[in-house]
Amino acid sequence: MYKKILVAYDRSEGGRTALDEGLCLARSLGSECGVLWVVPPVPYFFFDIGREIEMQQEREEAFLAEIGKDVESASRRWGHSATLIRKTGSPAFEIVRFAEEKGFELIVLGHSGHFGAWGRALGSVAARVSEEAACAVLIARVPRSAGEGAQAAVESRDKTRAMSVAEPPTTRDAPPAHS
């Protein structure tokens, strides 16, 4: 079904779930698996500060080494190898572009956990990828305990209900009448 699976990975909790799901699927289907880490570009004002660029590159190399360890560990755990790839740019754009260029048939990426106004304000790489990708997209959610999801839903419902059933204003709170 999917001969080439691309996992977008950033070491987040959702990313770790995506890595496990992607490797599990790849092993089950006998698919090739690539793991892509996209480094956001360095802001233009860093180009004049040589030491800052050097420090950023050192941090990126250290982070890439940690990602490499994560991929190696997950590969051993699932008994399936994966190739680690690093790109620089806008994460959503680079994930979609790389998948198309290399012929990946499935992109697996993690859910950020942001929702509502916060999620809309931040934007979501998963949402953008799912809208723009020409191939199938699997958004892996971090597993939660059964009670946790239900409890969050009840609390959210109660908060919404409390906001929508506000007491009507009293005459004391009413704006002055215009004559």
| Token pair 């992109």 in the structure block, residue | 107
Structural domain includes residue 177: no
Cβ pair 109, 125 in contact under 8 A = yes
Structural domain includes residue 174: no
Instruction: Compute how many other C-beta atoms are within 10 angstroms of the C-beta atom of residue 96.
Output: 24
**The pTM is what?**
0.73
State whether residue 12 is helix, strand or coil: coil
pLDDT at residue 31 greater than cutoff 60:
yes
Structural domain includes residue 97: yes
Q: Are strands 4-8 and 106-110 parallel, antiparallel or unpaired?
A: parallel
Taking the C-alpha atoms of residue 178 and residue 69, their distance in angstroms, rounded to an integer, is 71
* Domain count within the chain: 1
At residue 48, what are phi and psi to the nearest 5 degrees? Answer: -90, -5
Which residues, listed in sequence order, are joined to residue 36 by a DSSP beta bridge? Answer: 8, 85
Cβ pair 15, 109 in contact under 8 A = yes
Structural domain includes residue 148: yes
CATH number at residue 146: 3.40.50.620
Structural domain includes residue 39: yes
Taking the C-alpha atoms of residue 60 and residue 43, their distance in angstroms, rounded to an integer, is 14
pLDDT digits (tens, 9 = 90+) for 107-158: 999 987 555 554 554 458 888 999 999 999 999 988 776 445 445 544 544 4
State the residue range of the domain holding 86. Answer: 4-162
Structural domain includes residue 175: no
Structural domain includes residue 76: yes
The band of 5, judged by pLDDT with boundaries at 50, 70 and 90, is: very high
pLDDT digits (tens, 9 = 90+) for 68-91: 999 999 999 999 999 999 999 999
Structural domain includes residue 85: yes
